[in-house]
Structure formats: structure tokens, C-alpha cells
Amino acid sequence: MARYQAILAYDGTGFAGSQRQANKRTVQGEFEAALRRLGWDGRSILLAGRTDTGVHASGQVAAFDLEWRHSPQALAKALNAALPPDLAVRDLWVARQDFHPRFDALSRTYRYRLFCAEVRDPLRERYAWRLWPQLDGKILPALASLWIGTHDFAAFGSPTRPGSGTVRTVLQACWQQEGETWVFEVQADAFLYRMVRRLVYVQAAVAQGRLSAEVIARALQEPAAASSRTGLLPAGLAPACGLTLVQVTYPAEDCNS
């Protein structure tokens, strides 16, 4: 019996999130069903983190134990043959026996895509948030720098478990323009529930002239006084369709070299 580490990619449009749920189609449920076709009899795979309904991934990490007599490459091929078209194994290798994709992670990186257009664009909107009125793109790079460092992000997300903390360390954050699309990339040691979508929403509000950057700065300094319930920050989330989990980083010994 060996523990395997897999990198998963999926189009989140057709999934009710990554975590297994009764009577709903999820990434975990589909992956475990494919494993069972290969003789897996485990109770649950391990995932690096939970993604919400409609959120995509190109770098989700899973771990599972399996008795497999062939190569890891053959296992990846067999899994991809059993998985649905919107879920795939990008890479797979034998991990150390006690590897845990969530607790051993050093950081996670997300990307969020948006574009500005007055008329809807059904094809682009599957993977990006369409916004109107136009954004002031010159403002976005300065906004991204506000997040970097260790802050209490209570005004920008919810604890992942009841009673857990809301302090997180953002290692990198930036906006880049790709043609007509704006891409927000953020890397942190961990994220609060719906934190990235909240960060994008308030930055878009500033870039549309509906909110001042000073309010965001105050919300980081005084999170209890800056929740959306007080009216200081506007309520709302960027849609799930624009968000992708792109990478989970680990110590060198847990990487496929």
C-alpha cells in the first residue's frame, strides 16, 4: 500500500464544490468513484483545500492510499480514463506515507479573471467575471499591494472552522492585464472562506469609483469596525466563475522532482 499525491485540474462549472456532499456532484465524489473502479476501498481521499461551487482548479492537490502494482504514470492514465471530461489528473507520484495535502502546504495561489463589457459574452463569462461600468486599471496595481503582509482579514472572509482565527499572511498579490482581461493573482499561507472573491469585489468597487482605497486600508487595521454590516464596506462577492486554484506549494521533499 502506497500513498499517492495527485495534481488535479477541473472545470468547476458542473460541480457543487470540491468536497463530497450527499446527492450533489462534487470533485471528491467523482474522483473517489474513479478510484473505486481501480480497486480502492478507502473511506475518503485528502484534498489540499475546499473550492466552492463553480470555482475551477488547475493545481488542486489530492492524496490517497492504494494498492497498485504498476507505475504511477499508469495509474494516472487509468484514472483519467475513468474520470469525467471536466476533471483530470495532471500529474501523480508516490508520496511519503504521512503526507497530508492540506496540513503540509506552505502556501496556496489563486487567480481571478475579469473583463469589462456592457453586453454579455456567454463564452468568456464561463471563466471570468463580466463587469460594467469600466474599471480604472491604473488603480488596481496599488490596491493589490495593500494585501501583502500579515493582517486580520476578518472583514474580507469567514473562518474556515468555527472559532478559528482570521489572521493570514499574503506573500504576493498583483494585477496583470492580458488583452481585455484583468487577472488578479494572490498567494498566501492560507485563505479565509471566500476571501479571494471578497478581495476582488472590493478592489473592483474602488476601480469603479464606488469605494475609496482608504476604506480598504482601514478595514485591514480595524476589521471589527469595517464589516459589510456596518456599511463601511459594500456587501458582495465576485462570482465563482472567475476564480481558479492554480498552485499549492510544499517543502521540496513533497514535490515531484
Cis-peptide, bond into residue 133, ω within 30° of zero = yes
Cα separation, 221 vs 217, in Å, equals 7
Query: Is the CB of residue 92 less than 8 Å from the CB of residue 75?
Result: yes
* CATH code, 57: 3.30.70.580
Same domain for 67 and 115, yes or no, is: no
Indicate if the pLDDT at residue 65 is higher than 60: yes
Q: Which residue has the higher pLDDT, 4 or 225?
A: 4
- pLDDT score recorded for residue 247: 98
> Percent of the chain having pLDDT more than 90?
91
Rounded CA-CA distance 216/232 in Å is 9
The stretch 30-42 carries a mean pLDDT of 97
**Three-state DSSP class for residue 179:** coil
Domain boundary among 104, 136, 152: 104
For 125-141, write each residue's pLDDT tens digit.
999 999 999 999 999 99
Q: Which pLDDT does position 230 carry in this prediction?
A: 54
Query: pLDDT digit string (tens) for 198-255?
Result: 999 999 999 999 999 999 999 999 887 765 455 689 999 999 999 999 999 999 989 9
Q: Is residue 74 part of a domain?
A: yes
| pLDDT tier for residue 15 given thresholds of 50, 70 and 90 | very high
Share of the chain above pLDDT 70, in %: 97
pLDDT for res 223: 87
Q: Which domain holds residue 90?
A: 2-104
Of residues 11, 52, 86, 189, which has the active-site annotation? Answer: 52
Q: pLDDT at position 96, please?
A: 97
**b/e sequence 79-114, b meaning 16+ C-beta within 10 Å:** beeebeebbbbeebbebeeebebeebbebbbbbbbb
Q: Of 226, 236, 229, which is closest to residue 155 (Cα–Cα)?
A: 226
Q: How far is CA 144 from the centre of its chain?
A: 17
The predicted pLDDT at position 231 comes to 64
Q: From CA 205, how far away is CA 199, in angstroms rounded?
A: 10
Q: Are residues 115 and 231 in the same domain?
A: yes
204 and 229 co-located in one domain: yes
Q: What are phi and psi of 145, to 5 degrees?
A: -70, -20
| Mean pLDDT, residues 71-89 | 98
- Is residue 119 located within the same domain as residue 88? no
Which residue among 54, 77, 104 closes a domain? 104
Residue 52 among the catalytic residues: yes
74 and 201 part of one domain: no
Q: Is residue 97 part of a domain?
A: yes
Among 55, 75, 104, which residue terminates a domain? 104
Residue 30, pLDDT > 70, answer: yes
Q: Which of 68-72, 117-121, 158-162, 167-171 has the lowest mean pLDDT?
A: 158-162
